[in-house]
A and B are shown apart, each in its own frame.
Chain A
Amino acid sequence: MKTLAAKWGLWGGYLAVLLLLPQVFDSILAISIFNQMAIAIVFALSYNMLLGQGGMLSFGHAVYFGLGGFLAVHVLRLMEFETVYFSIALIPLIGGLTGLFAGIFVGSFSTRKAGTVFAMISLGIGELVAASSLIFTGFFGGEAGVSGDRTFGPPLFGMDFFSDVDVYYLAAFWVFVSTLFMYLFTRTPAGRMANAVRDNPERAEFIGYSARWVRFISFCASGMFAGVAGGLFALNYEFLTDENLNLVTSGRVLLMAYIGGLGFFIGPIIGAIVLTLMNFLLSNYTELFLLYLGILFALTVLFLPRGFAGFIMMHQIAWLRGRLHSLALPYLLTGLPALLFILSAVCLLELSHANEPVLHFLGLSLARDSALSWIGLVLGAGLGALLTAKSTPRLRRAWEAANAPNSEAGQEAAP
């Protein structure tokens, strides 16, 4: 009963956060970021159905997102010219159905094998559709793309969708419903077998399941939700181009899901939020955003293979044993020098990229032609790296102590 209450609480909280966000942060800018996050969350969760849940590494997931978006934009256009009468609220459904049908078609041959074969097919299909989008300009609009207008539908609960807030509430509804259904899917026989096939397709065959069918079902569902995300994109931006279904977009969703943490249902949500925020915060300040994103991805793969969610979950044991606080100081002692290193390295990168003679960055004024700023930064980075390296053994010991099996803590808990 307790876990059931916790579950309801979690979903209720999720819904509450979704509904309250635009009340707390009501600037136009904030709403536009929330809309981007909403799209990213659905898209990243759908990607996780493939890679995290089903063990299928796809390099072409933008195909389903983009096709869903294009179809949705075309429906918007039809509504604009009053060819069809349709509800704006159901536009993401158009995207979802498009993604589903594209998934059924591609999945029928690509899910035969997982691993490299699947990855290569997804890459091929991704390239093929991206190339087609520039060839079949009637549907895809070529490099100019296709644009629509979301304000021609019948008003919904008094919302006419002129403002982004209206779009946000609609998107929040779809995010909640999609998240719920994607979660519920993991708790069904097909969803459990998706995990089993990811772990060991051979064994799945010997307990009566066709690994291919199991993958196919996940693949179609994943395509559908990617299409829903595409439909939300169409509503939010009213504009789609070839970039929305090419490899850049496919790569970005992979990064989001991976950095957030593939093994956890909540991972891609974290990844979507963090990367959308990073995108917004950093791209205003630096032209090197993509470089930092790449570094972040490489570091995640190297040091946090289970992503941010995995990093958080790593602390579960220490927390359950009541020793989480013992990690605070060691974290600080390693974290501060690491921060010094990171900031110095960032300054070095920015300085070597700077166009002006004096770079104003992080409250510092760094002269490009002065040896002093270069030496200072190199020293800062070196000192940071040295202290980080020096303090890691201590952190490691503290970590092991915090996670050690309960000998004393067991006695503490006994009386």
Chain B
Amino acid sequence: MSILSLRGLRKNFGATEIIRGVNLGIEAGEKHAIIGPNGAGKSTLFHLISGKYAPSAGAIEFKGQSLANLPPHRINRLGIARSFQVTNIFPRLSVFENIRCALLWPSGYRYSFWRPIEREAKLNGETEQVLEKIGLAGRAKIPAGEIAYSEQRALELGMAIAGGAELILLDEPVAGMSHSEADNAVDLIRRVTEGKTLVMVEHDMNIVFELADRISVLVYGEVIASGAPAEIRANAQVREAYLGEALSDA
């Protein structure tokens, strides 16, 4: 059974229809990439799944449960975490605190205003482990707004995976990185999403083919192809709509 399924999903802003009937099933444990030209609606799709936008029509189900009308924090609590295309962190909090905040709800702290947080050894230990994993242990005390861009991207990723969500949505995780930074990021993504379901939007085809075991191609709000990387590479329609252009760019 699919862990995430989208059925007849539509989203319009006024008269403009961005997502035009998407049907997609994501299997548990799969690494799924969504590619497509600019303006195809990839980020919008993520916003719909994670609850930032409400669908105009259609259904989204996570482990058989409908996500309709759920606010983002409820969707997150079900086990869906995401990162953002534009770095979206808590700039004035330290790197350590950014990760610790991401761990709070999954660790069951809820809105506790009576437990001194520094005494929660397990929570603080787990925070350090995540920092270790994403290579930011040395930057723990610095305000997150002041670290380097690629470090912020790693932090962004760390916040998405910290809570142990089953389904991770990554929106262009390596956008704006240099080649070597991107290579590191790919390693990092592979390590931290092990055993989890990953759905990512990415422009860089090398990274997509390296990480994904299934690819869906979104063009003007519709999935025109979905399959293994080799199939997608060979698909004439995809080449015409998107890949040819992207490959000739590269």
Contacts and interface: CB of A to CB of B under 8 A. Distances in A.
Interface of A: 184-185, 187-193, 195-196, 198-200, 202-211, 213-214, 217, 221, 263
A213 B91 contact: no
B117 A187 contact: yes
Given A193-B101, A208-B106, A188 B115 contact: yes
A207 B155 CA distance: 13
A203 B90 contact: yes
B105 interface: yes
4 A-B pairs with least C-beta separation: A208-B105, A190-B113, A205-B72, A199-B90
A46 to B, nearest CB: 15
B50 interface: yes
B114 interface: yes
Given A189-B117, A214-B111, 4 more contacts: A192-B100, A193-B104, A200-B89, A207-B105
Given A184-B116, A210-B73, A203 B93 contact: no
Nearest to B50: A206
A196 B113 contact: no
A189 B113 contact: yes
A186 B119 CA distance: 14
24 contacts: A187-B118, A188-B116, A188-B117, A191-B117, A192-B104, A192-B117, A193-B101, A193-B111, A196-B90, A196-B93, A202-B88, A204-B90, A207-B76, A207-B101, A207-B102, A207-B105, A208-B73, A208-B76, A209-B73, A210-B71, A210-B73, A211-B73, A213-B111, A217-B113
A184 B110 CA distance: 17
A327 B236 CA distance: 70
Interface string B73-94: 1001100011010001111110
Contacts of B104: 189, 192-193, 207-209
Nearest to A207: B102
B106 A192 contact: no
**Chain B contact surface mostly:** loop
Contacts of A192: 93, 97, 100-101, 104, 117
A205 B115 CA distance: 22
B82 A206 contact: yes
A263 B145 CA distance: 15
Nearest to B114: A188
A199 B71 contact: no
Contacts of B118: 187
A231 B152 CA distance: 46
A208 B163 contact: yes
Given A189-B110, A195-B93, A205-B76, A200 B88 contact: yes
A287 to B, nearest CB: 41
Contacts of A210: 71, 73
Contacts of A195: 90, 92-93, 97
A305 to B, nearest CB: 13
Contact of B72 (A191, A193, A206): A206
Contacts of B77: 208
